[in-house]
A and B are shown apart, each in its own frame.
Chain A
Amino acid sequence: MIDEAEVRAAPLTAGTPYIELRGITHSYGPVLALDRVDFKVHRREIVGLVGDNGAGKSTLIKILSGVLQPSRGEILVDGRRTTFGSARVAMNYGMETIYQDMNLIDGMDIMRNIFFGREAAHPLGFLKIGEMKRRAMEILEKEITIEGIRSPHQLVGNLSGGQKQAVSIARAMYFKNQVLLLDEPTSALSVRETQAFLGHITRLRDEGLSVVIVTHNLFHAYQVADRFVILSHGKKVEDTPRGNTSAEELTRIVVGTK
Chain B
Amino acid sequence: MSISAELARPTAGNWLKELQRRRSGNIVLLFVVIQVIAIAFALVFPDEFRYVSTGNVQLMLKAIPSLVIVVLGVNLLMIAGEFDLTVGATFTLSALVMAKLFNAGVPLWISVIASLGAGAIIGVTNGWIVVMSNVPSFIITLGTMWLWRGVILILSGSVTESFYPTRFFEKLFTLNVGPIQVQFIWSLAVALLCWLLLERHRLGNYLFGVGGNRKAAAALGVNTHRVKIVAFGITGLLAALSGIMSTVRINSISPIQGQGLELQAIAACVIGGTALTGGKGTILGAFLGAALMYTIQDVLLLLRAPGHYLQMFVGVIIVIAAVLNEAIKSE
Is the pairing of A and B real?
Answer: yes
C-alpha gap A125/B205 in the complex (Å): 11
A101, A104, A108, A116 pick with most chain B CB within 10 angstroms? A116
Q: Within the assembled complex, what's the spacing in Å between the Cα atoms of A213 and B228?
A: 33
Q: Which residues of A contact B (CB under 8 A)?
A: 65, 67, 86-88, 91, 97, 99, 101-108, 112, 116-119, 121, 125-127, 129
In chain B, positions 188-208 with a C-beta closer than 8 Å to chain A are 196, 200-203, 205, 208
* A125 lies within 8 A of B208 (CB): no
Contact with A along B285-328 (1 / 0, CB 8 A): 00000000000000000000000000000000000000000000
Interface centre among A99, A107, A118, A121, by most chain B C-beta atoms within 10 angstroms, is A107
B219 touches A126 (CB 8 A): no
A97 to B216, CA, bound (A): 10
Would you call A107 and B279 a contact (CB within 8 A)?
Answer: yes
> Among the listed B201, B203, B275, B279, which residue makes an inter-chain contact with A105, where contact means beta carbons less than 8 Å apart?
B279
Cβ–Cβ contact B218 & A106, under 8 A: no
Task: State the Cβ distance, A82 to closest chain B Cβ, in Å.
Answer: 17
Assembled-state Cα–Cα distance A64/B221 (Å): 14
A102-B213, A103-B219, A106-B213 given; 16 more Cβ-contact pairs under 8 Å: A87-B218, A91-B221, A103-B216, A106-B279, A107-B208, A107-B212, A107-B275, A108-B208, A116-B209, A116-B217, A116-B220, A117-B209, A117-B220, A118-B220, A127-B201, A129-B200
Decide yes or no whether B215 CB sits under 8 A from chain A: yes
Interface size class of B (residues with CB under 8 A): 20 to 34
Partner of A127, one of B205, B211, B275: B205
Residues of A within 8 A of B209 (CB): 105, 108, 116-117
Contact A105 B217 (CB under 8 A): yes
Number of contacts between A and B (CB, 8 Å)? 75
Query: Mostly helix, strand, loop or mixed at chain A's interface?
Result: loop
In the bound complex, CA of A213 to CA of B142 (Å): 45
In the assembled complex, which residues on chain B have CB atoms less than 8 Å from the CB atom of A65?
Answer: 219
Distance A107 CA – B282 CA, assembled complex (angstroms)? 12
Q: Least Cβ distance of B196 to chain A in Å?
A: 7
**Closest partner residue, chain B, to A104 (CB atom):** B216
List B contacts of A97 (CB < 8 A). Answer: 219
* Closest beta carbon of chain B to A99's beta carbon, Å: 7
Instruction: Check if B280 is an interface residue, CB within 8 A of chain A.
Output: yes
Considering the chains assembled together, what is the distance between the CA atoms of A117 and B211 in angstroms? Answer: 14
A106-B279, A107-B280, A129-B200 known; A117 vs B221 contact (CB < 8 Å): yes
Measured in the bound complex, the distance between the Cα atoms of B212 and A244 in whole Å is 45
Closest to A119 in B: B202
How far is it, in angstroms, between the C-alpha of A154 and the C-alpha of B220 when the chains are bound? 20
Q: A105-B212, A126-B196 are in contact. Are A67 and B202 (CB under 8 A)?
A: no
CB distance from A64 to the nearest CB of B (A): 12
